[in-house]
Chains A and B, each alone.
Chain A
């Protein structure tokens, strides 16, 4: 276990190093400097700007500097928000992004597990059909459309929730709902099939034969084993929550990391794009590691081997 952990952590660092290098190369492969789109600047001003952002250094030096700075958790200055660093942006945006993401994760997993279980228990009956319709909508409608519809009909028209902005708890609800629609659908489908699978097993019949009440069979015996496939989905789930945030924060005008990211794409603000990409990759790699470990804790049948498991 310890050996496996060390290897996994080492390979995680390798992944991050490669990601950083790749983003660096990609961002510097773009023809023209980041300021070339501006109106023509006097040469002296241009030289000053390049000096300020170290753009006149040789690429190899810029690369090494960037790596060293990242090792110090310094993602460099932004190009578009004068005087602010990427770190500032992330510090500003992180709590908002995390709050929306967390609530969406709770909605997503909770809603998915409940809907999936209900639809498995009432297979081919009304609850199953309702759950299937819900999950179908979640899979087939783009999140920005859903977010807009929620915003307009649940926010603006009915006035149940504030349609835009940030500040109070109520404003979290609509963005998280919109963000969780797709994962809810996925978890529902996964949970439904795995629950049906488990309910057909012999030990469930045994439990029933012992006279165990239905809810205990579900919560004690069926749930636990049905959860396994859902846990494997947690990695993609988390990735979706992170990247889905781009859309949701943009629609609901939440000043989180996702919104900064979309704006920086449109502004061609390369350090911010790189910084947020690297941040997201780091979070994701760490999360995947946690999921792998959680998996072994939940299912003792799984042996961690460095040959296959990674």
Chain B
């Protein structure tokens, strides 16, 4: 057999070997794909959606409102007209839970948004500048952190005067931003030094691309997780404030104030305590499941 030069020609591949076969998945697609597999987290998400519908659409279908007293139906037991019964002034508990849900969810969302803005700014500046600025800013956080947030909340509520939905939102918002600031700062500090950032820079990525494609997406995960876990904490704290008498004031309803009022009638009419407490517990669970699910979804390394 004779060798011909033809036999030594390179075989041309039909497909380019460098091309990426599948479309790349974005951060969100990736996270959602993992999140979907987590049954508890999905359950939490469904429950939250139902809660939002219940609290914001529900009152439209209710023949009662949250403030009208009905002196002929004080402490009614659960029935077709009042599925959860009525409270000490004859107000329909289910309708009050709907309105209370609005307030609780609003408090949770707005106060956490305030946390988010303050925390991301503070943490971002601290992490971006690093060095002495970072040191001083973190020392300030250490100082604030060493006092339980509940004490600040109580002091501020006493100063601002009780009641007032906005007061509660603002106080809870300006008290709880430290964890967020710490997380953002820590992320940015470590990310800056990561080798993949160096690699991207070596490959010619400019600052904008670096920030948008590498640094921010990697900070978003922990931020979202923190938000998801801080919302229930804020709702919980509002319940506590209402209990000690500096939270939501009547006739407005919040789950905390309803439960705390229902406490007194537990021997004869446990439903006045039971249903608002269940609303709190279910919301807490749903948010926590979603938060845990998000953490697993955004940070697969943490996953067991």
Seen from chain A, the residues whose Cβ lies within 8 Å of a Cβ on chain B are: 11, 14-15, 18-19, 23, 26-27, 29-30, 136-137, 139-145, 148-149, 152, 156, 193, 196, 239-240, 242-243, 246-247, 250-251, 262, 265-266, 268, 273, 277, 280-281, 284-285, 288, 310
Contacts of B143 in A (CB 8 A): 14-15, 18
From B148, B236, B282, B304, A142 is in contact (CB under 8 Å) with: B236
Is B288 in the interface zone, CB < 8 Å from A?
yes
A152: which of B151, B243, B266, B281 is its contact (CB, 8 Å)? B266
Bound Cα distance A11, B143 (Å): 9
Binding site for A on B (CB under 8 A): 139, 142-143, 146-148, 150-151, 154-156, 158-159, 236, 239-240, 243-246, 256, 259-260, 263, 266-267, 273, 277, 280-282, 284-285, 288, 304
B259 touches A144 (CB 8 A): yes
| A30 x B273 contact (CB < 8 A) | no
- Nearest B residue (CB) for A270: B158
Q: Which residues of A contact B159 (CB under 8 A)?
A: 26-27, 29-30
Q: A140-B282, A148-B273, A285-B146 are in contact. List 11 more A-B contacts (CB 8 A).
A: A15-B147, A26-B155, A26-B156, A27-B158, A139-B284, A144-B240, A247-B244, A262-B244, A262-B245, A266-B244, A277-B154
Complex Cα distance, B232 from A140, in Å, reads 9
Chain B: interface secondary structure? helix
**What is the total of A-B residue contacts with beta carbons within 8 Å?**
103
Q: How far is the CA of A268 from the CA of B243 in the complex (A)?
A: 16
Residues of B within 8 A of A196 (CB): 304
Q: Report B-chain residues with C-beta under 8 Å of the C-beta of A265.
A: 154, 158, 244-246
Interface of A is mostly: helix
**What is the CB-to-nearest-CB distance from B89 to chain A, in angstroms, rounded to a whole number?**
20
Closest A residue by C-beta to B289: A136
What are the residues of chain A within 8 A of B280 when measuring CB–CB?
Answer: 140-142, 145
Which of A193, A247, A277 contacts B151 (CB under 8 A)?
Answer: A277
CB-based nearest A residue for B256: A142
Q: Could you tell me the distance between the alpha carbons of A152 and B273 in the complex, rounded to whole angstroms?
A: 12
Cβ–Cβ contact B277 & A142, under 8 A: yes
Nearest CB in chain A: distance from B58 CB, A: 22
The 10 closest A-B pairs by CB, nearest first: A140-B284, A239-B148, A140-B281, A243-B150, A145-B277, A144-B243, A148-B263, A142-B239, A140-B285, A262-B244
Query: Which A residue's beta carbon lies closest to that of B153?
Result: A243
Q: B245 to A140, Cβ gap below 8 A?
A: no
In the complex, the answer to whether B148 meets A144 with C-beta atoms within 8 Å is no
Assess whether B155 is in contact with A142, with CB atoms less than 8 Å apart: no
Closest to B235 in A: A142
**A273 to B158, Cβ gap below 8 A?**
yes
Residue numbers in A under 8 Å from B244 (CB-CB): 246-247, 250, 262, 265-266
